[in-house]
Structure 1
Amino acid sequence: MSKAIIDRLSRVQGQIEAVKKMIEAEETDCLKVMQMMKASTNALKKASEAYIQEYVQTCVQTNMAEPELKAKLEAIIKSAFFL
């Protein structure tokens, strides 16, 4: 996995930790908490998309048999639609 994806996941982890601390501190600004939750959700989705793109490129570059490659790509596409 690339460093860029690891960095994205680290940012997501930091955002989630910040949300957790806000909730534990009984943060009264609900809008701010919800904005942070939405930001972390979007960041995780972007990290997932980057991972899928990297994985697909890796699959295409390998000497995988066409039926196996097709099956893997179909599984990736189905998974991506449920993010």
Structure 2
Amino acid sequence: MVNNAAFVMSFSVAASNGLETSNTDTYPINQSRTIDLTTTALPVGADVRPVVDAVAERRARRAASCRTARTGRARRTR
């Protein structure tokens, strides 16, 4: 996930079954981080969403729906 905003962020991936990966480290604007979903307990085909922790003046969390694929990459569904 690329950080195109003016804040420091980290993210994890959460599944609809309640499983969630560990957060990435925090990183600044114009950098990116990845989570290899094939190394997690998330099953293939699970509905997942990135959960973003943003740090600016305040903390904010935002999630968007995705689905995992056999490649371990998530595809946005909404």
TM-score (ref. length: structure 2): 0.28
Greater Cα radius of gyration, structure 1 or 2:
1
* Richer in strand (by share): 2
Which structure features the higher share of helix residues? 1
Which has the higher relative contact order, 1 or 2, with Cα contacts under 8 A spaced 6 or more apart? 1
Give the TM-score normalised by structure 1: 0.27
